[in-house]
Amino acid sequence: MSMGNVTAEPILAVVEGKEYKVGLITQAAKGQLERICEKRAREAVLAGKDQLTDEEFKLAYSSFLDKVASGDFAYGGPTFRRWIDSGLGTLAMVQVLFGVGADEAERLVTQGPAEVSAALRSVFAASFPQAPAAS
Amino acid sequence: MPDAVTTMAVLVGEPFLLRPDEIGRLTDWQIQQLYCAKRKKDGTVIQQAVEPKRQTMEQAKLKYFAMGAGLGISREKLEAAWRAKHGG
């Protein structure tokens, strides 16, 4: 435990010589990530609309809405977990926590993967209680 | 950690009375370790003492001999030193 955990101060990361204040995973940040995850899923359903009949599209969209209602896109939900572990999820996390746009997030991950990964590890350590060590 | 809605409901209620925007700025760590820390009836926090792992005398002796052997000390010298310190 450190004062950083208590005060939830942002973590300083330097990528390619530029300093970034990386926010911790607050409830608001979780909410932002959930919305991005849900938005991407909605876009995927809408993108396939032309290839589907009206009936098929209604089914696909209704399945998407069922997932929203059942918390699939909520932080920790099954779809959310798969998405956040993917490359797209990492990009979204960098976007939200580094406070940058999608293009900048992609550039950071491409050009400073080690620095970004280290910053995200620190963010997780400061944001979540650690499980007690197994005895 | 309980689900998000339950956690929010606890934090907006007595005694915390946090506003949703204040909750939005909190991490899970803060919620669990500060707001939801186990307390006594008078509100004081129950210290979560971390018990140091205890080792038996047998385990301590094995470690001592292993370390000594690693340093190149003969078994006889180690036995003598162990007896001088712990007897037996």
Region of poorest pLDDT, from A39-48, A73-82, A117-126, B74-83: B74-83
Taking the CA of residue B17 and the nearest CA in chain A, the distance in Å comes to 17
Q: Take residue A74 and report the two structure tokens written for it.
A: 């909520």
- Among A3-17, A28-42, A45-59, A103-117, the range scoring the smallest mean pLDDT is A3-17
CB–CB of A27 and B24 under 8 A?
yes
Condensed to tens digits (0 to 9), the pLDDT of residues A57-95 reads 999 999 999 999 999 999 989 999 999 999 999 999 999
* CA pseudo-torsion sign A80, A84, A89, A93: positive
Considering only residues B74 and B48, tell me which one the structure prediction assigns the higher pLDDT: B74
Best probe of the B interface among A1, A5, A27, A32, by most B CBs < 10 A, is A27
Do B52 and B42 contact (CB within 8 A), yes or no? no
Assembly ipTM: 0.83
| A132 located within any domain | no
- Please identify among residues 13-72 of chain B the ones whose CB lies closer than 8 Å to any CB of chain A: 23-30, 32-34, 53
Contacts of A88 (CB under 8 A, 6+ apart): A40
C-alpha to C-alpha distance for A79 and A42, rounded to whole angstroms: 13
- Is A135 within the bounds of a domain? no
The count of structural domains within chain A is 1
Rounded percentage of chain A residues whose pLDDT exceeds 70? 96
Number of H helices, E strands in chain B: 5, 0
| Per-residue model confidence (pLDDT) at position B48 | 66
Chain B: give the shortest CA distance to residue A25, in Å. 6
The pLDDT score that the predictor gives to residue B13 is 93
Distance from first CA to last CA of chain A, Å, rounded?
19
Q: Do B26 and A27 touch (CB under 8 A)?
A: yes
Quick one: closest CA in B to A24, which residue? B27
Output the six-digit token pair for A55.
């009936």
Domain ranges of chain B: 4-35, 57-86
Task: Name the residue range of residue A96's domain.
Answer: 3-127
